Structure 1
Amino acid sequence: MFSRKRGGPKHVRPTDAPPSEALRHSLAADDEAPAPEHGPYDQRHAPEGVQRLDLGSLLIPAIDGVEVRVQANPEGVVEQIVLVDGESALQLGVFAAPKSEGIWNEVRDEIAEAMVADGVAAQEVQGPYGIELTARVTTPEGPADLRFVGVDGPRWMVRALFQGRAAADRSSEGALGQVMSGLVVVRDEEARPVREALPLRLPKDMTEQAQEAQGQQQPAPPDESTAFNGRNLN
């Protein structure tokens, strides 16, 4: 999806986002420091008593009314996560990163460069998680607003793409904003190349249900999505 830039050390610009709460806490000398006020959280700082959908490396809080659409292959490996709330959508991805250095600034630059190459004007704006990237693109259905948000954590980075109303107006995030601030990242101990997607899988019971459903009818294509509502999570 994106590759790490080569050719020397990264240079910090005045507009670079400061470390996120998750990354700052991971670098703190005091392991007993209070948990961040909001997520995305590293697993060790995740608040207890919250109902979440377990997708392996990413735990998604169950928010009433939010539909979670998970695209997975027949083996249950998740390839795409999209959450829908009314006229807004939120696409999520989580990737490997260095332990003590964020990569969102570089990734944001590359997204902007790719948009400019496609003739799309991208703009950097300040958001609650730092510097975001906004743009309006043309689709077969008409113009569409996009907003890219990145959050650096210890050995991970969450990349979120708001679409629709929540992209055009941040104050309209609503339930999707609650999902974003409640995400939990479970980073395994395996050494992974920077920017490699962290493994995501459907919960075992959902994988079994999908396999049973496929056994009772014609096999579903690999890109068929499994959709469920936040209020129905177990």
Structure 2
Amino acid sequence: MFRRRRREQPERNVPAEPAAPMRESGPWDAEEPHPDSDRIDLGGLRLPHNPDFDVRLASVGDQHIGVVVIHGDSTLQLQALAAPKTLGLWDEVKTKVMQQVSALREQQGPFGAELAGEIAGEGVTRPARYIGVDGPRWCLLAIIHGKAADDDAAAEPFLDFLRDVVVVRGAEPMAREEPIVLRRPTEPGVEAEERPGLNPFRRGPEISETR
């Protein structure tokens, strides 16, 4: 004997809950679960929106390939580079930097191996700290200059900023160490100057390519 199937109740379209982050902090890859906080969308990078920081696009020629974050008397330079699928890039970049700047020493920091020391430029010597973070097919290079490079208390705001950065690698093929290009924020009806902490129309210091 066959029984008539009960009419199934229509399914409700309930929005899926966002997946919880697998790690305590970033930098994050755009494709992994990460906190949905207020960020400045620059295309290849999404940066924390914090009025205490002055964020400027850094360019080489007509391409925006990095940012300079200013806080107090110190700066943080950020540049995202394309990396191979299977190997991290930071160890290789770190070796190249040490070959070019012999005054730097290797040390352990919150993101792993990093470089620190004093570097000369424009007739002055100032402390510098190089931090690298490997992600899926990208490497985020962070360079701290000024007091925050050798003062833990002054460095913490920059480190917190770095922990909330999102890298948008994209699916297109890119050469090894090719900078992930950025763009000005695109928000219809909103002038960029009205966003506290960001003036993308003012060019920041040049970031040289690491090749």
Q: TM-score, normalised by structure 2?
A: 0.75
Q: Distance in 2 between matches of 1:73 and 1:139?
A: 19
Instruction: Work out whether 1:92 is the aligned partner of 2:83.
Output: no
Deviation at 1:166? 1.1
- The one of 47, 59, 64 equivalent to 2:46 is 59
Shift of 1:86: 0.2
Instruction: Tell me whether 1:225 sits opposite 2:210 in the alignment.
Output: no
- Amino acid of the structure 2 residue aligned with 1:81: V
Q: State the partner residue of 1:81.
A: 67
For each residue in 1:167-218, what CA deviation from the matched residue of structure 2 results, as whole angstroms up to 9, or x when unmatched?
Answer: 1123321322221000001111111111111121112359x968xxxxxxxx
Out of 99, 121, 124, the residue aligned to residue 113 of structure 1 is: 99
The alignment covers a number of residue pairs equal to: 178
Kept in 2: contact 1:72–1:202 (CA 8 A) = no
Partner SS for 1:36: coil
Moved over 6 A (4+): none
Q: 1:67 to 1:33 in 2, by over 3 A?
A: closer
SS in 2 for 1:190: coil
Which amino acid is 1:43 matched to?
Answer: A
Aligned partner of residue 92 in structure 2, secondary structure:
helix
Could you state the TM-score of these two structures normalised by the residue count of structure 1?
Answer: 0.68
Name the CA distance, whole Å, in 1 between partners of 2:173 and 2:203: 30
Shift of the 183–122 alpha-carbon distance from structure 1 to 2, 3 Å rule, reads: same
Aligned in 2, Cα 1:111/1:42: closer, same or farther, shift over 3 Å? same
150-159 or 41-50: which moved more? 41-50
Aligned ranges 1:1-234 → 2 under 5 Å: 34-72=21-59, 77-116=63-102, 121-140=103-122, 142-205=124-187, 225=202
SS at match of 1:173: helix
| Most deviating of 139-148 and 101-110 | 139-148
Deviation of 1:80 (Å): 3.5
Q: Distance in 1 between matches of 2:152 and 2:115?
A: 12
Uncovered stretches (5+) of structure 2, i.e. residues with no partner:
1-18, 193-200, 205-211
CA-based RMSD of the aligned residues comes to 2.7
Q: CA deviation at 1:72?
A: 4.8
- Tell me by how many angstroms 1:63 deviates: 2.0
Q: CA deviation at 1:135?
A: 1.8
Given that residues 145 and 165 in structure 1 are in contact (C-alpha distance below 8 angstroms), is that contact kept between their aligned partners in structure 2?
A: yes
Residues 32-73 of structure 1 deviation map (CA, whole Å, 9 limit, x = unaligned): 885221111011235343111111111001123111011358
Q: Which runs of 5+ in 1 are unaligned?
A: 1-31, 211-223, 228-234
Shift of residue 140, structure 1, vs aligned partner: 3.8
User: Could you tell me how far apart the structure 2 residues matched to 1:159 and 1:68 are?
Assistant: 16
What is the percent sequence identity of the aligned residues?
33
Match of 1:9 in 2: none
Report what 1:27 is aligned to.
Answer: none
CA distance in 2, matches of 1:46, 1:112: 34
Larger radius of gyration: 2
Indicate conservation of the 8 Å contact 2:20/2:34, yes or no.
no
